[in-house]
Amino acid sequence: MTTKTQERRIHRVRGALRKAAKSRPRLTVFRSSKHIYCQVIDDAQGRTVASASSIEKTLREKAKGSDKVAAGEVGKLIAERALAAGVKNVVFDRSRYLYHGRVKALADGAREGGLDF
């Protein structure tokens, strides 16, 4: 459940992204205490282009879902899937999370995989 402060932060971050996006898809992140999830969303068409998470069978064998190693692997996987869908440039929507820890590891993994943001 999100609080009013978190809701304001989410809208503030997303508003700044819309100004900077210039019609690029958005790489959005959700993290829970056990897993991390991400999607590449094309807001112009209103559809999800690619998605990845730490609950996928191939990633569950490599690392625990709640650590930085798993987040980096999810970042590489989302980059691979986005490139396969024809998306190279995205904006990074960290939602309400600080750019630190697992969120930063996911972003670094996506950059290693070939995404530009």
CATH assignment at residue 81: 3.30.420.100
pLDDT in 10s for each residue of the chain, 117 residues: 779 998 998 888 888 888 888 889 999 999 999 999 999 999 889 999 999 999 999 888 888 878 999 999 999 999 999 999 999 999 999 888 999 999 999 999 999 999 998
Residue range 55-68, pLDDT digits in tens? 999 888 888 878 99
Q: What is the pLDDT of residue 22?
A: 81
Number of domains in the chain: 1
Q: Which domain holds residue 48?
A: 4-113
**Cβ-proximal residues to 2 (8 Å cutoff; 6+ apart), any chain:** 10, 96
User: Sheet harboring 36-42: ordered strands across?
Assistant: 47-53, 36-42, 26-31, 91-93
